Amino acid sequence: MPGHSLGDDPFDGSDRERWLASDLRAKLRTVLLADDGPVLRFVGSGGETTVGMAAFAREAAGFLAACRQLGLGAGDVVAIAYPTGARPLAAWAGAVLGGLVPLFAPPNDPRAALRGPAEVRVVAGPEALADTIRRRPLLSTWAPAEPEFDDAAAYTGVPALLQRSSGTTGPHKPIAIDHRRALAQLWGLGRALELRRSDVIASFLPLHHDMGLVSTVLLPLCCGISLVRVEPRLWRADATPWVWSIARHKATLAWVPPAALARLVRRVAPADERAMGSLRQIVCGGEPLGAEVVDAFLGRFGAACKPEVIGAGYGAAENVAAITQTPVARGARRLTAARDRLAIGRKVATPEAGEAALTLLSCGVPIEGTTVTVLDADGREVDDGVIGRLRLAGDCVAPGYLGDDHGAALVDGGFDTGDIGLRDGGEIFVLGRADELIELDGMLVLPHEAEAALADHDDIEPGRCAAVWSERSGFAVLVELRPARLFTSAEQLAAFVADVQDRVEARVGHRPRTVRVLPQGSLLKSSSGKTARAANRDALP
């Protein structure tokens, strides 16, 4: 296989069944050993590092050799806790190629990978973790080796990888993903995006999150797509390096949470407003996407970015990642609904003259091989436009959680996503998590809409608010203030609370009963950075 070339079709002319009949190891070998494989670039505080496939393949082979020296064999789990650079990707590739089972750990909590039923044999991470990881061998360095990877057939039945559920509404649960499901995900998502090997992906996402895993690991390494990855910590400090990396390498695809769009609007300098013009789609996922965020982004960057550049995706770790995707070159479709007639079990109504309106954005259509149905409280499928619970089925759905004999939330071969939404014209609109939505007077209040009312509040730290409901506090809004903001009198605090209540009421039609100012850093987030509304609700006194 060494010495071969890759064409521009990442699926190499395969039909779907032929693609699914292979495995990730074969795809990895094809990409790693090609003469014209993708280029991986990593941007950190020390600058940019470029890694070609020949050097990357030797790193992957070296990692596998080091694992073999430690006695690891097929099916053994390796936790990867390197936060930056090529090493976490090389460790992942080496593990998959050798029949080991990789699991990315959150860099800020690497011990999370050791909790639960996944029996981790080795942790790959920096030497600084030695005091944190004491009960497992720590593999912090390894020497490159010549790529000599075993025949894939030797590892039949071994999972391709482990990943953790998002943890937004409860404990993280490890999910075993087999090769066929991973390949089905790549096929469905790649076809939806009209993926080609000339694409370049720009990323800053954490690898332990399903959106980061697919966009930053699976697509580049198994489909041969070049990557430029900005260290997540650097992105959090400054959005500019990510924007510059898009311009420098003419990136064409990016995956971001909606909050990142708002951050770009606030933080990017006027001189850089044209830097993202090479992008043909920005896929927004992880949270519902709001029309105001899209409009603000296009208002700032519309001179270079086409209106259809902003797409949306709905996903879940239980489906590897993507469930739905906005078709390329079309943008997220909008649906205008009567705000005060939004209710589970009812059809979304078109607002009448003078009636408050709410703009919902589509998450696109299910990727090939995946179906999404909308169910009522009795589990029966509802008509188009009726709000209900979303159920998922298809080739990507995991059979269950590792160590869970009950197949929790898996029903009749499908997966109860726990999300509420609707179908309209074949597209899926996601309203939010069932246990996070707020029902007042029989109508729905969408938490992300209440939070959006405070997005530009001068006193509130961006992204640090949560709208919840509890028996004790009623409709409540929790906020963190900006670091420099301090109320010096009860009158100032009362005025702030009233202002928050006014803004939220104007947006969603209901006035919060409670506004609570939290200490800085105390608003609870999932490991992927999403607001953990249920956990914040449960933490209320």
Cα distance between residue 178 and residue 183, in whole Å = 9
Q: How far is CA 445 from CA 191, 250, 287, 442, 535, in A?
A: 35, 40, 16, 10, 18
Residue spans of alpha helices (H) in 33-98: 53-69, 87-97
Q: Rg of the chain's alpha carbons, rounded to an integer?
A: 23
Query: Which pair of tokens denotes residue 240?
Result: 């500019």
Structure tokens at 13: 């002319």
Please give the domain boundaries of the chain with CATH numbers for all domains.
16-151+175-305 (3.40.50.12780), 313-434 (2.30.38.10), 439-538 (3.30.300.30)
pLDDT at residue 472 is higher than 50: yes
Residue 147 and residue 168: Cα distance in Å, rounded? Answer: 39
* Exposure letters 421-434 (e unless 16+ CB within 10 A, then b): bbbbeebbbbbbbb
Average pLDDT (1-15) is: 83
pLDDT tens column, 34-44:
999 999 999 99
Instruction: Encode pLDDT of 221-244 as tens digits.
Output: 999 999 999 999 999 999 999 999
At residue 454, the 3 state secondary structure works out as coil
The secondary structure of 292-313, three-state, reads: HHHHHHHHHHCCCCCHHHEEEE
Residue 218, pLDDT > 80, answer yes
Name the strand (E) or helix (H) holding 202: strand 200-203
Within 8 A by CB and 6+ apart from 479, the residues are 454, 460, 461, 464, 465, 500, 515, 516, 517, 518
Report the pLDDT value the prediction gives residue 407, as an integer from 0 to 100: 46
- pTM for the model: 0.94
pLDDT at 107: 81
What pLDDT, in 10s, does the model give residues 258-302? 999 999 999 999 999 999 999 999 999 999 999 999 999 999 999
Confidence at residue 404, expressed as pLDDT on a 0 to 100 scale: 64
What confidence category does residue 153 fall into, taking pLDDT thresholds of 50, 70 and 90?
A: low
CA angle 355, 361, 366 (to 5 degrees): 140
What secondary structure letter does DSSP report for 271? G
For the cut 50, the answer to whether the pLDDT of residue 16 exceeds it is yes
Q: What share of the chain is helix, strand, coil (3-state, %, to 5)?
A: 30, 25, 45
Q: Phi-psi bin for 331: left (phi > 0), alpha (psi -120 to 50), beta?
A: left
Cβ-contact 451, 467 below 8 angstroms: yes
Neighbours of 352 (CB within 10 A): 9
Torsion of CA 313, 319, 321, 327, to 10 degrees: -30
Region of residue 75 (phi > 0: left; psi between -120 and 50: alpha; otherwise: beta): left
- Cross-strand partners of 161: 177
pLDDT at residue 171 is higher than 70: no
Beta strands in 242-321 (DSSP E): 253-256, 281-284, 310-315
Buried b (16+ CB within 10 A) or exposed e, 209-227: bbbbbbbbbbbbbbbbbbb
DSSP three-state, residue 353 = coil
Amino acid at 454: L
pLDDT digits (tens, 9 = 90+) for 441-465: 999 999 999 999 999 999 999 989 9
Q: Of 142-156, 267-281, 369-383, 407-421, which range is least confident?
A: 407-421
Is pLDDT of 410 > 60?
no
Residue 411 has pLDDT above 60, yes or no: no
Structure tokens given for 6: 């890759």
Mean pLDDT is lowest, of 345-349, 408-412, 456-460, for 408-412
108 versus 88: the higher-pLDDT residue is: 88
pLDDT over 70 for what percent of the chain?
Answer: 95
What's the rounded Cα separation, in Å, for the pair 4 and 36? Answer: 8
What's the rounded Cα separation, in Å, for the pair 438 and 158? 43
β-strand 310-315 against 101-104: which pairing, if any? unpaired
- The token duo for 100 is 């080991």
Residue 158 is predicted with a pLDDT of 87
User: Where residue 413 falls among pLDDT bands split at 50, 70, 90?
Assistant: low
pLDDT for the residue numbered 400: 79
